[in-house]
Chains A and B, each alone.
Chain A
């Protein structure tokens, strides 16, 4: 696999992948690794500094917040929310966007016009405004958050898939398949998709980081994940009120976000270069 070889020859992409796997491991085994439960508060231990600071103790590695929650444990559990939201929302948007994009690009005509108008319309609103609106309508919660994120996110995959489909449509191999009397669905799935999935995959990886930031932003505003479930965005929000006396409460979960998103972006960029060697500079 030349692609994988090229990918691992790129140190930042390889490092990105390792970090992503570490986060996935932490999320998966949070109950085993975390010294405290996600809702286990010890009011006597409120606002304890991290272990490496004066007054900190090894029992609270990254300190505690104003309710006595162990920040390290909640970051581990929070990784579940971020990774799941990122993965699921990108997967759904990718499938819907690709499907509709292929349909519009293959058949064109009225269906293309309608879908493309809808896409333009959705692109007319800032993403965050749109999701805030959607969350206000359908209410907070994990499933609703994913619906709200996907409601607009499919558009980018749609546009990419449609554009690629339009280009591929005029190429000889597609013409040949048509001349052989193959059905459109078969042409799209077995002829065109294998040629265009690269760029969709790269877009999907890079969008995943963005989705994680969106989820964190919504949770920060109190519109995302309900507060009973630890999520990095709401943890930062809680730390905002402790800015004067406990900087670590807002800082630590934010670092967790940056680390994960950075790793995903580095990996995505490496993936893009590996899949398209012309991009290497």
Chain B
């Protein structure tokens, strides 16, 4: 029955993505300012004939319905059109930026889980202790701090003042990444290139913390409260009375059950990672999708905005789908 439920979710996601596509198309056209004017404004002296030619080339002289059909037909072929400003296919530009965004989001998620989960567990087990209070205090701070400020503060402290980490970018000049997955840390591990690994990690650590701080706090809080709930259950008492060692009670009986709400919340907060990355990527000069889309919106690069936002929405949709499936897998009660 789980398979049916999962299939059902996948099928409802399809019309949703179509609606999103329409919304993105409409939104992009609502942006004020003519992209051709903006492009030509940068080029300087141009004739009306050149403007008309460009307009034709970009299909901007066609009615909206035709523009939509051109867009959809291209999409089906995996063609997202040309970026107005960069004069390159949008798929190519996005293809370069996407791995950077994925790497940063995964690093932030890993950080949040590695720090947030143990804090939540310890807080629940040592409830109302000094450790618990401190941890919860920090988690409040985590959800109250804007990512851009945390980013700037960490750059000031660790990069400028202490000189431990680089200020900007993904890699130092002169270090060439191999052409594998585009996730530099993974590539470095695959090729056993330790110099690359060290450099990539040094660039990654601050943005990952800035992006993951809020999620860390959320995960710690959810884990704590669901652990508290789980530890009060009958089966935990039963396990204790059977003489099961306490760490086993906490991890096997408590944490396993507390993971369900934690995964759900962490999954629902993926939007925090995907949305926050626009800010964090801008602050850290991280060459990912977030920085790309902000620049493209400012520059009225229709095709690029369209493609990037679609990718955002689809990633978001897919992530929610995955969370749902994971949730089904973790929760035995849902099995019919």
Binding site for B on A (CB under 8 A): 117, 120-121, 124-129, 132-133, 136-137, 139, 209, 213, 216-217, 220-221, 233, 236-237, 239-240, 243-244, 247, 250-251, 254, 257-258, 261-262, 264-266, 269, 281
From B110-118, B290-298, B326-334, the one touching the partner chain is: B290-298
CB-defined interface of B215-236 with A at 8 Å, one 1/0 digit per residue? 0000000000100100000000
Does A132 contact B297, Cβ atoms closer than 8 Å? yes
In the complex, A133 Cα to B147 Cα: how many Å?
A: 19
Does B149 contact A257, Cβ atoms closer than 8 Å? yes
In the complex, A115 Cα to B108 Cα: how many Å?
A: 34
Interface of A is mostly: helix
Number of B residues whose C-beta is below 8 Å from A? Answer: 43
In the complex, A251 Cα to B312 Cα: how many Å?
A: 31
In the complex, A125 Cα to B313 Cα: how many Å?
A: 5
**Does B237 lie at the interface of the complex (its beta carbon under 8 Å from any beta carbon of A)?**
no
Q: From A127, A220, A269, give the contact of B271 (CB < 8 A).
A: A127
B167 and chain A: residue at smallest CB distance: A243
CB-defined interface of B264-304 with A at 8 Å, one 1/0 digit per residue? 00000001001110110011000000000110011000000
In the complex, A240 Cα to B149 Cα: how many Å?
A: 9
Does B19 contact A221, Cβ atoms closer than 8 Å? no
Q: From B31, B149, B225, B298, give the contact of A258 (CB < 8 A).
A: B149
- In the bound complex, residues from chain A placing their C-beta under 8 Å from that of B156 are 243, 247, 250-251
In the complex, A136 Cα to B305 Cα: how many Å?
A: 12
- In the bound complex, residues from chain B placing their C-beta under 8 Å from that of A236 are 148-149, 152
B229 and chain A: residue at smallest CB distance: A281
State the 8 A-B residue pairs at the shortest beta-carbon distance, nearest first: A126-B275, A254-B149, A128-B275, A262-B144, A261-B144, A126-B274, A126-B271, A136-B297
In the complex, A168 Cα to B92 Cα: how many Å?
A: 52
B30 and chain A: residue at smallest CB distance: A137
- In the bound complex, residues from chain B placing their C-beta under 8 Å from that of A243 are 152, 155-156, 160
Does A136 contact B31, Cβ atoms closer than 8 Å? yes
In the complex, A124 Cα to B271 Cα: how many Å?
A: 9
**Does B127 lie at the interface of the complex (its beta carbon under 8 Å from any beta carbon of A)?**
yes
A217-B279, A258-B144, A281-B228 known; A129+B152 contact, CB < 8 A = no
CB-defined interface of B151-169 with A at 8 Å, one 1/0 digit per residue? 0110110001000000000
- In the bound complex, residues from chain A placing their C-beta under 8 Å from that of B194 are none
Does A129 contact B293, Cβ atoms closer than 8 Å? yes
